[in-house]
């Protein structure tokens, strides 16, 4: 289910167009219960929004059209999106095309995100000054590490 939803979510005009307009560099990766294999029918979709170091938290949560939150709010309506600042990670909760989505802010310490960048690169953790981003990436890193261990 997750792969299909992620593909349709990434191909959705709204998010893709906004991300391309606001941020030149980004990647969307599955996160949460989907990558840990604990998805249930009531689960929401957790998507890591991987951003380079020059895109800061305010670019993500700004309430006007200069930020992702404000841009999405203008398109999908304020009833369908919420900033979650109180959790250990920074995320936007939104409902898009009937799907509950947690869009999670994850900054990496690179100027440019290559399409084939290695999320297991030690520099991502060692060079990252943003604790919330490290926590956001932790689930993905644990999943990859466990797959490598099982080989």
Q: What is the pLDDT of residue 6?
A: 43
Q: What is the pLDDT of residue 52?
A: 87
- Enumerate helices (H) and strands (E) in the chain, giving the number of each: 7, 5
Q: Which string of b and e fits 42-52 if b means at least 16 CB within 10 Å?
A: eebbbbbbbbb
CATH number at residue 73: 3.30.460.10
Q: How confident is the model at residue 20 (pLDDT cuts 50, 70, 90)?
A: low
Question: pLDDT tens for residues 79-108?
Answer: 889 998 777 888 899 887 788 888 888 888
Q: What is the pLDDT of residue 116?
A: 74
Domain total of the chain: 1
How far apart, in whole angstroms, are the C-alpha atoms of residue 104 and residue 66?
Answer: 18
Distance between the two ends of the chain, CA-based, in angstroms? Answer: 25
pTM: 0.71
Spatial contact of 122 and 142, defined as CB atoms under 8 Å apart: no
How far apart, in whole angstroms, are the C-alpha atoms of residue 15 and residue 90?
Answer: 18
Q: What is the pLDDT of residue 22?
A: 58
pLDDT at 127 over 60: yes
Question: pLDDT tens for residues 44-78?
Answer: 788 888 888 888 888 888 888 888 888 888 888 88
pLDDT at 121 over 60: yes
Which range of residues forms the domain containing residue 138? 2-150
Question: pLDDT tens for residues 133-150?
Answer: 776 776 665 555 555 455
């Amino acid at each position: 289910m997750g792969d299909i939803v992620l593909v349709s979510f990434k191909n959705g005009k709204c998010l893709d167009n906004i991300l391309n307009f606001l941020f030149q560099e980004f990647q969307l990766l599955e996160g949460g219960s989907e990558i840990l294999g604990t998805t249930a029918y009531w689960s929401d979709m957790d998507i890591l929004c991987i951003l380079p170091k020059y895109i800061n938290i305010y670019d993500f949560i700004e309430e006007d059209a200069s930020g992702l939150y404000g841009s999405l709010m203008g398109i999908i309506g304020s009833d369908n999106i919420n900033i979650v600042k109180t959790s250990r990670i920074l995320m936007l909760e939104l409902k898009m095309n009937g799907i509950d989505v947690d869009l999670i802010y994850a900054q990496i310490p690179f100027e440019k995100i290559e399409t084939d960048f290695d999320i297991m690169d030690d520099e991502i953790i060692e060079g990252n000054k943003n604790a919330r981003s490290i926590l956001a990436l932790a689930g993905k890193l644990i999943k990859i590490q466990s797959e490598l261990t099982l080989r």
